[in-house]
Each structure stands twice: as C-alpha cells, then as structure tokens.
Amino acid sequence: MSRIALVLGAGLGGTVAAQTLRSLLPQGDRVVLVEREERHIFPPSLLWLMVGERSADALDLRHRLVAAPDHSE
C-alpha cells in the first residue's frame, strides 16, 4: 500500500526534508510539500539587499518543483 508523506512549509527545512524523504521512501510513496506563500525569499540573501548588491525582485524566488520523483532505484 502506498503512503503519502506531507511536509508543511517549503522553507529551507521543509525543502530539505521533502528531498530527503523522496530519496529514502519507495517510489510508490508520494511526498507532498505544501507552502502557503506564492514566493520564497532565501533569508541569508537579505544581506545582499541590505548592502544594495541585489534588488528585492532578484530575491523573489517562485516556488518550483523541489521534490521530483526519484527514478534512480
């Protein structure tokens, strides 16, 4: 029977957790990563904004597929 692993929050922790689960769980299991925001700002990048090295737009990363099925097995 296949299972579903649900990860809430696609920040650093959630993204790594989802990717790790994807690589560890059998192919038949699903990993679902749920994020409430449409965009993500990588917090350490705020330092670049602060010193004027990056624009706010450049830090705005739309969520992408981060836990694609691993067919390596």
Ligand X SMILES: Cc1cc2nc3c(=O)[nH]c(=O)nc-3n(C[C@H](O)[C@H](O)[C@H](O)COP(=O)(O)OP(=O)(O)OC[C@H]3O[C@@H](n4cnc5c(N)ncnc54)[C@H](O)[C@@H]3O)c2cc1C
Site string for ligand X, 54-73 (x = CB under 6 A): --------------------
Site string for ligand X, 6-45 (x = CB under 6 A): --xxxxxxx-------------------xxxx--x--xx-
Bridge partners (DSSP) of residue 61 are 40
Q: Are 38 and 64 in contact (CB under 8 A)?
A: no
Among 24, 32, 47, 61, binds ligand X (CB under 6 A): 47
Q: Could you tell me if residue 41 is left (phi over 0), alpha (psi between -120 and 50 degrees) or otherwise beta?
A: beta
What the block records as the tokens of 44 is 């350490």
Which residue ranges make up the site for ligand X (CB under 6 A)?
Answer: 8-14, 34-37, 40, 43-44, 46-47
